[in-house]
Amino acid sequence: MENQPLISVVMNCYNGQEFLREAIESVIEQTYSNWELIFWDNQSSDDSRKIAESFLDDRIKYYYAPSHTNLAVARNLAIEKTSGEWIGFLDTDDLWFPKKLELQVQKMNHSNLGLIYSFAEAFEGDLTRYILPARFKNVLPEGDLLEELLKGNFITLPTALFLKKAYEKVGPIPSDLVFASDYFLFLNISRYYRINAIQEVTARYRMHNNNWTKKQKVESVFEPIYIVKNLYSDLNESERKRTHKFNYNRRISERIIVLLIYGHIKQFFRGVFQISNPFFVFYYGLRYIYREIKNN
């Protein structure tokens, strides 16, 4: 393999001891060996540090956060410690297949390439539940993906490998993002860079019971709306031409109608005023509900 760039694996950890050893082992077992693991300990109180430091591999670099922060800030701080040309996130409960990095290095075949992603297995315990992303079941799109990503995020975090220069161009990740920091990063990278896809599974994404509060559910709907709204309003004329098939009002309306479906009436009306004409919410919202009923 001629091209062997250093890849920085960023692992953010806060009390992640349960699956941590397995996650780190999946990095060590990579067939591509030119990597460093930036382990950012967000002031864990469990045995995370002990587990991380038990691996006698000088490619693993442990950092203890000076203060506890939210995940978006922790990701930015960890990235500051990276030395690699490319960066990939692996959370403490997810896994990589052995050839993941090797396959991605082989796809570094374009001068304006900013990100490489793939399919992932969503698993729970010993069972594989389904393959991600559900939106593209057979062939993942690649190339200019700005329009597709405006419709919603379909890049599964542990599969993504992105150019550090791309992060430096669009980052840092806003500190107020809680649920959609990866979407912010991927969408903004797609504005300036090509994205390549590997048409096979390279990672495993662990599923957990979702015990979100009402506030968390609402914010998980609003964060992508704000991200899309801010980026779309900033596009220049040539960028708008690249997204001519994207229907902004439809995209936002379909997300807002979810709040009504979940019974969040106050938040629903808050969302209605995020678009210029409230009629769109009801028009596209009703079409969305009909489509969901028909498909199920």
The domain tally of the chain equals 2
pLDDT tens digit sequence for 94-122: 999 999 999 999 999 999 999 999 999 99
pLDDT tens digit sequence for 200-229: 999 999 997 655 566 676 677 788 888 998
Query: The domain spanning residue 125 has which CATH number?
Result: 3.90.550.10
Domain that holds residue 118: 7-206
Output the pLDDT for position 265: 72
Question: Comparing C-alpha atoms, which of 42, 30, 158 is closest to residue 91?
Answer: 158
Output the pLDDT for position 278: 72
* Domain membership flag for residue 1: no
Claim to verify: residue 40 and residue 141 sit in the same structural domain: yes
Q: What is the pTM of this model?
A: 0.89
Distance CA 118, CA 137 (A): 11
Given 174, 190, 206, the domain boundary residue is: 206
Q: Read off the pLDDT band of 28 (50, 70, 90).
A: very high
Claim to verify: residue 156 and residue 272 sit in the same structural domain: no
* Domain membership flag for residue 140: yes
Question: Comparing C-alpha atoms, which of 92, 60, 89 is closest to residue 173?
Answer: 89
Kindly report the number of other CB atoms within 10 A of residue 28's CB atom.
14
Assess whether pLDDT exceeds 60 at residue 188: yes
Claim to verify: residue 90 and residue 226 sit in the same structural domain: no
Kindly report the number of other CB atoms within 10 A of residue 3's CB atom.
9
- Cα 75–80–82 angle (5° rounding)? 95
Claim to verify: residue 110 and residue 255 sit in the same structural domain: no
Claim to verify: residue 71 and residue 119 sit in the same structural domain: yes
Claim to verify: residue 199 and residue 220 sit in the same structural domain: no
C-beta separation of 89 from 59 below 8 A: no
Claim to verify: residue 172 and residue 220 sit in the same structural domain: no
* Domain membership flag for residue 2: no
